[in-house]
Amino acid sequence: MALGRGLGELLGEVESAYENSSQKSKLSILEIDVSLIKANPNQPRKIFDEDKLKELSLSIVEHGLLQPITVIEDGNGEYILIAGERRLRAHKLAKLKTIKAIVTKVEELKLRELALIENIQRADLNIVELAYSYAQLINEHNITHEELSKKVFKSRTSITNTLRLLQLSSYVQQNLASSKITAGHAKIMLGLSDSEQKMVCDSIIGQKLSVRDTEKIVKDLKNKDKVITKKKKEITNYDFKPLDNVLKKLEESKLKVKAEKNYFKIEINSQEDIDLISNYFKLH
């Protein structure tokens, strides 16, 4: 039994939502040709650790598959995978021709929901995959955050905070998914532009910044943006045509004059220039 438990941990297996159903005992385990099994098109899990897959593959070759995958017939003599993506990939990696499988019958509408809920229950699902799984369940099954919290046994607040991570750039999401930055780091970057997020993300990784250090960088960035925006609003391009005569007269007095944007400039190089300007305004 100790060996079984150890291998179970190695395989990273967890029970699926439907594997505890009363029908399980009635379903027989079949040996199905791997080539007849199609990946679930609705599978939310996109990132697989190649090293762990190799480890799983070697274990299956040596000890056999401890937990069968679960599939559904597609009506054309083939099967659609519902649970066991890693196990199926590991079999293909080991070039095994067949795999143990439980063929179950579920409504087509439930196909995606079962795959999503199984993935959410897995301990090794990264937080970005988790966020996408939450979003898919909410959008495609028309459920609220509160209803989802009951389905996956997570708090509504936790679900809402996780979903907010999908607002981040793909660059940040990739680094978060690969654990190069934490969710704490990522949340601080919400509201920044994609280029700012990349700069902050690279700084976190390169300088090993803490969450508090990151908060300071982001705060400085946001304050800098406010100052730049304020300055831009103060600069206005004015029409200087009404001053054409003034400019002409001053230039005739051999004064260097410049008028553009929001300023009127007269260059002074001597006391004589000041006298010329003074005389002009006295005349007008």
b/e string for 75-89 if b means 16 or more Cβ within 10 A?
Answer: eeeebbbbbbbbbbb
Percent of the chain with pLDDT over 70: 76
202-257 pLDDT, tens digit each? 999 999 999 999 999 999 888 876 655 555 555 667 777 777 777 777 777 777 87
Helix (H, G, I), strand (E, B) or coil at 260: strand
The chain-wide mean pLDDT, for the chain, equals 77
Helix (H, G, I), strand (E, B) or coil at 3: helix
Give Cα separations from 122 to 152, 174, 261, 284 (angstroms).
11, 19, 61, 85
Residue 65: Cβ within 10 Å count:
21
b/e string for 198-232 if b means 16 or more Cβ within 10 A?
Answer: bebbeebeeeebeeeebeebbeebeeeeeeeeeee
pTM assigned to the model: 0.45
Report how far residue 206's alpha carbon sits from residue 199's, in angstroms, rounded to the nearest whole number. 10
Range with lowest mean pLDDT among 110-114, 115-119, 161-165, 260-264 = 110-114
Catalytic, 13? Answer no
pLDDT above 90 for 280: no
Look at residue 111 in the predicted model and tell me its pLDDT. Answer: 65
113-145 pLDDT, tens digit each? 776 777 677 656 788 888 888 887 876 666 888
CB 175 within 8 A of CB 203: no
pLDDT above 80 for 194: yes
Task: Look up residue 270 and give its amino acid.
Answer: S
> Which among 13, 19, 85, 129 is annotated as catalytic?
85
What are the tokens at 190? 């919400």
